[in-house]
Amino acid sequence: MTYDNLIEALTWKDCKAAAAKLGREEIRYLVSFYYTSQENRKRSSNQLRRLREVDAPRDFLEWVSGQFDNVEGIIKKVLAYYIKDNGRKVDHWAIGITGIGPVITAGLMAHIDFEKAKTAGHIWSFAGLNPKQVWEKGQKRPFNAELKTLCWKIGESFVKVSNNSNDIYGKMYAVRKVYEQELNEKNHFSEQAADKLKRFNIGKKTDAFKAYSIGKLPPGHIHARAKRYAVKMFLSHYFEVGYEEFYNEPAPKPYVIEHLGHVDWQKASAM
């Protein structure tokens, strides 16, 4: 049996058996390895494109690039089997959301512990989505860097599926972006813009500097804010489903809803 045939055989014979033996740490590693392999595949694809342009020999690199794709496929399939068979309602809910596949669902499961996350805000902070979090040099980072990266990927995914008729959170991103742009035009973010210039060395010839210097946020900053909003709404609903499953009681409402009078909230069951 050739290596390629072995990979093909693994996809139907052993993936389910492997999934049944996975633990939280192994899943965390597989998710990390999946994204590492994905980045390597992208780099090899760029190299292949340059080699094709000059008609250079590339057979072995073509094969290597294909193996990255095979590995990603196997990991995704193993994680999909795990989610299907583990019986957790929150995982089945997450993977049913447009833009959230088995790798992201498994990553959330590996990093979020409902014994520790007693509110949606706890998850936001743990994911690095709390803008008030600060730490000094030498101090331990107050959030999970891998989960923060995963949430960035979730945001990008929501943007990509925003035109899908089955999408929910990408449309939240789009609506929020318009709202943020309107606030920006009214100089609502002038203090943030000034703080950005104060804390970061932004090139004076950049479009970002031009925006910050007149009290506005540049388009990229508005884009990021709208993405974070959609991701935080998704995480709030994820928390709601997971909390109610884990504790068998209704989840507490987010602080901004319960105490600050915000009304733009829907339960996950109503989505």
> Per residue, what are the HEC states of the chain?
CCHHHHHHHHHHHCHHHHHHCCCHHHHHHHHHHHHHHHHHHHHHHHHHHHHHHCCCCCHHHHHHHHHHHHHHHHHHHHHHHHHHHHCCHHHHHHHCCCCCCHHHHHHHHHHCCCCCCCCHHHHHHHCCCCCCCCCCCCCCCCCCHHHHHHHHHHHHHHHHCCCCCCCCHHHHHHHHHHHHHHHHHCCCCHHHHHHHHHHCCCCCCCHHHHHHHCCCCCHHHHHHHHHHHHHHHHHHHHHHHHHHHHHCCCCCCCHHHHCCCCCCCCCHHHC
* pLDDT tens column, 8-44: 555 556 777 778 788 899 999 999 999 998 888 888 8
Q: What is the mean pLDDT of residues 172-186?
A: 96
Provide, rounded to the nearest whole percent, the portion of the chain with pLDDT above 90.
58
Q: At what angle do helices 3-13 and 59-86 cross, to 10 degrees?
A: 10
pLDDT of residue 10: 56
Nearest alpha carbon to residue 111 among 78, 150, 153, 147: 147
Residue pair 239/120 in contact by the 8 Å Cβ criterion = yes
pLDDT of residue 151: 97
Checking if the pLDDT of 197 tops 50, the result is: yes
Q: What is the mean pLDDT of residues 54-66?
A: 73
pLDDT of residue 17: 79
- Ramachandran bin of 254, using left for φ above 0, alpha for ψ from -120 to 50, beta for the remaining angles: beta
Q: Which residue has the tokens 């089955």?
A: 166
Q: What is the mean pLDDT of the chain?
A: 86
Residue pair 128/145 in contact by the 8 Å Cβ criterion = yes
Q: What is the mean pLDDT of residues 111-115?
A: 95
Checking if the pLDDT of 256 tops 60, the result is: no
- Work out whether the CA dihedral 131, 168, 108, 270 comes out positive or negative: positive
Banded pLDDT at 263 (limits 50, 70, 90): very low
Banded pLDDT at 137 (limits 50, 70, 90): confident
pLDDT of residue 64: 74
Banded pLDDT at 266 (limits 50, 70, 90): low
Q: What is the mean pLDDT of residues 57-66?
A: 73
Banded pLDDT at 248 (limits 50, 70, 90): very high
pTM of the model as a whole: 0.85
Retrieve residue 117's tokens: 């996350």
Q: Averaging pLDDT over each range in 10-14, 72-76, 102-106, which range is the top one?
A: 102-106
pLDDT of residue 9: 56
Q: What is the mean pLDDT of residues 194-199?
A: 91
Banded pLDDT at 216 (limits 50, 70, 90): very high
Compute the distance between CA of residue 64 and CA of residue 61 in angstroms, rounded to an integer: 5
Q: Which of 14-23, 28-37, 170-179, 246-255 has the lowest mean pLDDT?
A: 14-23
- Work out whether the CA dihedral 165, 169, 170, 172 comes out positive or negative: positive
